[in-house]
Amino acid sequence: MSTNPETTKKSDRKQEKADKADKADKAEKAGKTDETVSKIAELTNDLKRVQADFENYKKRVERDNAKLCEYSRADLIKRLLTVLDSFEMALKQTGSHAEFVKGVELIYSQLYTLLKEEGLQHIEAQGKMLDPHLHEVMLFEKSDKDEDIILEELQKGYMFKDIVLRHSKVKVAKK
């Protein structure tokens, strides 16, 4: 078979055009790939920066919370200094028993008032119905009162705001 030189030229031109188009596509894709790679790198750096900022934020909040707790304790201790001063004055009253007792009563009153202002509250027990969330039964006693009524508070219980710090130890009526 003979090949027509004109057909060969046309075929070569078509091949050249296809090669040029292929090269153009590759160049365009390479440009897009380089652009995509740089965009990914930029976003990755942004993500790392945001993550580092967040870690620094968490550390700062933890430090601030620790300082807040420390300063709130310092405020309470400062308020307790008055009670400490009263103890010192009461202990100096060794000559008069009545003055000593009066001083200790004053100290008790100061301390209880301060703690109450901070959120401490006494759990009422005497004559109330037993509540296992607030009261701890130490003794049972036969009584003409209704069953599970608290006859006596053996040790006071306390709450801080809505948390039970210590349950009231109680004696309860049984039939």
What confidence score (pLDDT) does residue 150 get? 94
Please give the span between the terminal C-alpha atoms of the chain, in angstroms, as a whole number.
124
- Return the pLDDT at 128: 92
Determine the Cα–Cα distance for residues 91 and 85; give it in Å rounded to an integer: 10
pLDDT in tens, 42-89: 999 999 999 999 999 999 999 999 989 888 888 888 888 888 888 888
Angle between helix axes 5-92 and 97-118 (nearest 10 degrees) is 160
Which domains does the chain carry?
1-118 (3.90.20), 120-175 (2.30.22.10)
**Which DSSP category does 174 fall into?**
E
Q: Which pLDDT tens digit goes with each residue over 23-33?
A: 666 666 666 67
Q: How high is the pLDDT of residue 2?
A: 54
**pLDDT of 39 above 70:** yes
The pLDDT value given to residue 24: 65
CA 136 – CA 140 distance, rounded (Å): 11
pLDDT tier for residue 104 given thresholds of 50, 70 and 90: confident
- pLDDT at residue 153, rounded to an integer: 94
Six token digits for residue 76: 């309470």
Entry pTM: 0.58
Residues 6 or more apart whose CB falls under 8 angstroms from that of 123 comprise 134, 135, 156, 157, 158, 159, 164, 167, 168
Q: Are strands 135-142 and 168-174 parallel, antiparallel or unpaired?
A: parallel
